[in-house]
Structure 1
Amino acid sequence: MNTSTSLAVMTSLSLDSQLVKLISDTYKRLQISKTVEEHLEKELKFFKKVTTGVDPMDYSKVMSQKGIKVLSLFFIDKVANYRGYTKEGKPTQGKFAQWFEEEFTQQLRKPKYRLLYPSIWNKDSSGKSVLNEQALKELASSVHNGYFAQDKKKDASGNPQFAESKLSAKGEGGKTAADESAYNLIMKDKEKLLSIDEKLRFIFSHSALKEGWDNPNVFQICTLNETNSVMKKRQEIGRGLRLAVDQSGERVPYGFEVNTLTVMANESYEQFVTELQKEIEKEEGIKFGAVEKHQFANIVVSDELDKKEFLGAKKSEEIYQHLADKGYIDKKGKIQDSLKLDLAENSVSLPESVKEHTGAILATLTKVSKGLSIKKHEEKKTASLREDNGKQVVLGDDFKALWDRIKYKTTYRVDFSIGELVDKCINEIRASVAVASAKFEYKKVKVAVTEAELETFDEESKIQYYRNRNFQLPDVVTYLESHTNLTRKTVVQILLGLGDKLEAFKNNPQRFIELAGEVIRKQMRLAIVDGISYHRIGDEDYYAQELFQEEELTGYLKNMVEANKSVYDYIICDSDTEFEFAEKT
Structure 2
Amino acid sequence: MKLKFKVQPYQTQAVDSVVDSFAGQPLVNGITYRIDPGRKAQVSTFEEGFKNADLALTELQVLANIKDVQRRQNLLISDKLVSSAGCRFNLDIEMETGTGKTYCYIKTMFEMNKRYGWSKFIIMVPSIAIREGVYKSLQITADHFTESYGKKARFFIYNSRRLHELESFSSDAGINVMVINIQAFNARGADNRRIYDELDDFQSRRPIDVIASNRPILILDEPQKMEGSATMEALPKFKPLMILRYSATHRTEHNRIHRLDALDAYNQKLVKKIAVRGIQTRGLAGTNAYLYLEGIDISKKAPVARIEIEVKLKSGEIKRQLKRLEFRDDLFVESGELDQYRDGFTIAQIDARNDTVEFTNGVVLHAGEATGDVSERDIRRIQIRETIKAHLDKEKQLFVQDIKVLSLFFIDEVVKYRDYTRSDEKGEYARVFEEEYELLKEEYLSELAIDGEAYRKHLAGIDAAATHNGYFSIDKKTNRLKDPVVGARAVDSDDVDAYDLILKDKERLLSFGEPTRFIFSHSALREGWDNPNVFVMCMLKHSDNTISRRQEVGRGLRLSVDQNGDRMDNPAVVHDINILTVVASESYTAFVSGLQKEIADTLTSRPRKATEAYFTGKTITTDAGPIEITPAMAKQIYRYLMKNDYSDDADQITSAYHEAKEAGTLAALPDDLKPHADQIFQIIDSVFSDAKLPKVEDGRKPKTNPLNDNFEKKEFQELWRRINQKAVYRVEFDSDELVRKCLSALDSQLRVTPLQYTVQTGIQGDGLTDEQLKAGDGFSLTGSTTERGGSIHSLVKYDLLGKVAENTELTRKTVADILTGIQASVFSQFRENPEHFIAEASRIIAEQKATMIIERLAYDGLAERYDVDIFTANQTGQDFSKASAKLKHHVYDYVVTDSEIERKFAGALDASSEVVVYAKLPRGFLIPTPVGDYNPDWAISFKEGSVKHIYFVAETKGSMSSMKLREIENTKIACARKFFDELGRRVSEDRVKYDVVTSYDKLMDIVAPPAS
- TM tier relative to shorter chain: 0.3 to 0.5
Q: Which has the higher helix share?
A: 1
Bigger relative contact order (CA 8 A; separation at least 6): 1
With structure 2 as the length reference, what TM-score do the two structures score? 0.26
